[in-house]
Amino acid sequence: MLNWNIFKKLFLPEYPQFPNSRVASYDELLTDGLTIGTLYIGRQGTGKTTSLARHLVDYFKAYPDRAIFVLDWSGSITDSILGLIANEPPRVSEALTARLVYDELGNPDWVIPLPEFSDRYGNTYEEQAQRVANNLVKLAPELVADAPFLAGLGLREIAPQLFRLCTAISDGTDSTWQVTEAKRLLRDLPTMRQAVAKYGNKVPEAKWFFEKAFISLKENERELRTYAILALLGVIETPTARARVGYPRPGWTPREAIRNGLMVIVNGARLINQRNTQHYLFTQAYSLITSEMNRRRPADPNDKPVALVMDEVYSLISIPGMAEEIGMLAPLYRSRKLELYIVLQSLSQLALALRQQIWSIGNIVSFAVSNFEEAYELSQQVFSYDPKTIKLTAKTDTGQPIVETDRGQYLQIANEIQRMKHRECIIRRYQSEKLLDKYVLWVKQTKNTPQVSIEKVSELKEILLKERAVRVRDALDVINRRKLGNTPKQAPKPPAL
């Protein structure tokens, strides 16, 4: 006897349950539409990380002259990307690995240095000092709002002058003092006076400020005005964080990555229990990348696209000061060819400012979500209302059918989104910056990927990390020897950038 279900599966086409959609054999984003921005959303275990990792590896292979920056909060997309690369044929894997930079935050033995101030970044020390001061303001918006004359004044006025002075102080090599010495300057007034007298002529505005407006203050007033700066810089007092931001030479720079088509993966999994330190270091890496993008001339045909992936990086999507800036990245940096990817489990992870701006992102790849209200919001953003959808057919030949209301239609779609299976997704995509794909894609199951070998991934991580890292103890030794006017132990030279 013929089984009707088997017959349908074998001979009849499968139609999606979503309106204005078409079946797609696999999840594919179009390269020309990536500068419009991309949002990946789906609850844990739906397959979104593997899908994005495969997309990034395919993109990395297809465009060897384009840079990719991956900021990974949990370490999951790091393992997926490295696992996929390790499983490539040897020749392909070797070529891709040669273009990888693996930066593991919080490793107790090895650190990839990323000082706040370096002449290798390509912009002026003045720009770098303001960048670091602005980062502190964004990391503590509550302090600035609640105490504008103490915390706000310290972060907006004292911090830039302090960092200008740090960049003017030579440590006896070709580098400057770093933020690791900033607290010493604030707490040790004799050292502050000596630094201003010896190096202040390089930064006359900072020299005037400290001589006329800061050093003359009473001790308790200085403490009140610098409390916020000291508190925020206190998060980098851990050995690994000090080694990272205090060592004079960067292990990688955004300029190098963009010039050479590298993929830089910053893995913050080891710092999940050190949330404030993780916030600072991710914000630093993000600001260095966007600072380099700001150097681009809008619509320059010679510039190559640059991808920036933020996988649930809470310091960037949940802290209001940073989230507001992230929300403007996709529309403002489109002309600078930035391809932004934001990865979420739910919309509730977003700060309010970013939640209001998130739909300015063009490409949306949605897997199953847990929250029904968010599924309903997704259905409204991804699908257009079809007023011809029939709810009830006409009861008589002369009667009129009852059409589905917009709310009823979106409720049905939200139910489907909430109950999608593992690796099932819907995609709204742009064919180019100006052209939205006519249909929403329904992918019943994303591409199969090979099983990731934990041993291969761990081995690859260790090899990549040691290519650019220095030992934490060696980095701290260089930092601890730093004094005014002395020549410290020569810092070991990292690989040429």
247 has pLDDT over 60: yes
* DSSP element (H, E) containing 473: helix 472-480
Query: Which 8-state DSSP code applies to residue 348?
Result: G
Query: What pLDDT score does 324 carry?
Result: 77
Least confident segment among 175-179, 264-268, 328-332: 328-332
* 294-324 tens-digit pLDDT: 999 998 999 999 999 999 887 788 887 787 7
Token pair belonging to 475: 């980095």
Query: What pLDDT score does 371 carry?
Result: 93
Whole-angstrom Cα distance, residue 363 to residue 360?
9
For 374-397, what is the mean pLDDT?
A: 74
Query: Which 8-state DSSP code applies to residue 444?
Result: S
For 463-487, what is the mean pLDDT?
A: 89
For 413-424, what is the mean pLDDT?
A: 92
Residue 108, exposed/middle/buried by CB under 10 A (0-12, 13-18, 19+)? exposed
For 58-85, what is the mean pLDDT?
A: 96
Token pair belonging to 454: 């934990």
Query: What pLDDT score does 332 carry?
Result: 77
Least confident segment among 120-129, 167-176, 185-194, 406-415: 167-176
For 412-418, what is the mean pLDDT?
A: 91
Whole-angstrom Cα distance, residue 307 to residue 366?
20
Whole-angstrom Cα distance, residue 44 to residue 40?
12
394 has pLDDT over 80: no
Sorted by where each begins, the domain ranges of the chain are: 17-110+257-368+420-443, 119-242
The CATH class, in words, for 17-110+257-368+420-443 is alpha beta
Picking from 372, 366, 373, 401, the residue whose alpha carbon sits closest to that of residue 387 is 401
Strand 338-344 and strand 38-41: the pairing is parallel
Whole-angstrom Cα distance, residue 94 to residue 388?
55
354 has pLDDT over 50: yes
Query: What pLDDT score does 327 carry?
Result: 79
Phi, psi (deg, nearest 5) at residue 46: -90, -15
